[in-house]
């Protein structure tokens, strides 16, 4: 199971995220990016973060470690920002934390180079989880200690917002032409050969098992948290079957204006200058 810690101090909000995640300190002396059950997207965002984050880790991709974080609403009493205070008050109990990566940089496709093999693995993974939120507009990638890290998987598996559509959604094509890594020539054939055999029922069941019951309870159409877990496993297993044939890269998008500082926008021998 995911480790469980208790939040001891709310540090600051991260306003880049639509769900207003925040940086918190915990009783294990760790610092985490915390996502809250009281945020507008609700608990399904946290379910997606757990299942997809763990799948990414177990497929060999860099995803920050995840923990369960207990939050006492009293922690928000001294918060001067009314919006943040209300969010903390609404999120008492179990929430989700991701290891904070200090000093990391937001990924910019005009500032950093990505190997086609690694690009292919990320695009294939995003197709598996139907990630609609990895475009050049919002890459949800960080560069830390020379490696590319995948974050923010709340906008994945969108079928779980309408479970009757899950079987149909599982076999839908994935248009990756707007993917932030599309311009790096993703080697999807190599990714499929490597990753598809790893997406077993055991792998999917293990990831779903890590979701706390409290985030799955009372799901309409299901009689237990385990039944909901089974639905995630079945949808992802069906999506993984023949996935390569349903990924469309299309024409490479035109390079968009870089958001990186000037000192990062210089490439040397095909690699971004640091």
pLDDT digits (tens, 9 = 90+) for 97-154: 999 999 999 999 989 999 999 999 999 999 999 999 999 889 999 999 999 999 999 9
pLDDT of residue 255: 56
pLDDT band at residue 267 using 50, 70 and 90 as cut-offs: very low
Rounded to whole angstroms, the Cα distance separating 205 from 43 reads 19
CB–CB of 113/271 below 8 Å? Answer: yes
**Mean pLDDT, all residues of the chain:** 90
DSSP alpha helix (H) spans, 140-200 = 166-170, 188-195
The dihedrals phi and psi of 124, each to the nearest 5 degrees, come to -60, -45
List of residues 6+ apart from 253 with CB closer than 8 A: 136, 177, 178, 182, 183
DSSP letter (8 states) at residue 166:
H
Q: Torsion angle of alpha carbons 50, 53, 55, 61, nearest 10°?
A: -170
Helix axes 201-209, 43-58, angle to 10 degrees: 140
What 3-state DSSP class applies to 104?
coil
CB–CB of 65/149 below 8 Å? Answer: no
Calculate mean pLDDT across residues 76-94: 90
pLDDT of residue 264: 42
CB–CB of 49/66 below 8 Å? Answer: yes
Domain ranges of the chain: 4-99, 105-259
pTM for this model (two decimals): 0.91
Rounded to whole angstroms, the Cα distance separating 38 from 36 reads 5
Nearest alpha carbon to residue 7 among 64, 92, 104: 92
Least confident stretch, 6-20, 64-78, 91-105, 243-257: 243-257
Residue 60, pLDDT > 80, answer yes
CB–CB of 179/188 below 8 Å? Answer: no
């Amino acid at each position: 199971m995911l480790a469980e810690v208790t939040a001891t101090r709310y540090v600051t909000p991260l306003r880049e995220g639509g769900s207003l995640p925040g940086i918190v300190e915990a009783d294990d002396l760790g610092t985490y990016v915390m996502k809250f059950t009281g945020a507008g997207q609700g608990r399904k965002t946290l379910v997606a973060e757990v299942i997809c984050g763990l799948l990414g880790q177990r497929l060999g991709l860099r995803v920050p470690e995840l923990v369960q974080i207990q939050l006492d609403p009293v922690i928000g009493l001294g918060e001067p920002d009314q919006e943040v205070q209300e969010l903390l008050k609404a999120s008492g109990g179990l929430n989700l934390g991701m290891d904070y990566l200090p000093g990391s940089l937001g990924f910019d496709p005009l500032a950093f180079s990505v190997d086609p093999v690694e690009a292919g693995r990320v695009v294939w993974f995003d197709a598996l989880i139907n990630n609609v939120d990895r475009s050049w507009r919002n890459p949800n990638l960080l560069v830390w200690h020379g490696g590319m890290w995948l974050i923010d998987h709340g906008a994945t598996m969108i079928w779980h917002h309408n479970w009757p559509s899950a079987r149909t959604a599982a076999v839908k094509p994935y248009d990756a032409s707007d993917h932030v890594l599309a311009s790096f020539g993703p080697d999807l054939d190599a990714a499929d050969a490597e990753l598809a055999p790893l997406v077993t029922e055991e792998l999917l069941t293990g990831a779903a098992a890590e979701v706390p019951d409290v985030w799955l309870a009372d799901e309409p159409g299901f009689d237990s948290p385990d039944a909901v877990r089974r639905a995630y496993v079945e949808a992802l297993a069906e999506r993984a079957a023949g996935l390569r044939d349903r990924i469309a890269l299309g024409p490479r998008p035109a390079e968009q204006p870089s958001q990186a500082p000037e000192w990062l926008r210089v490439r040397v021998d095909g690699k971004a200058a640091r």
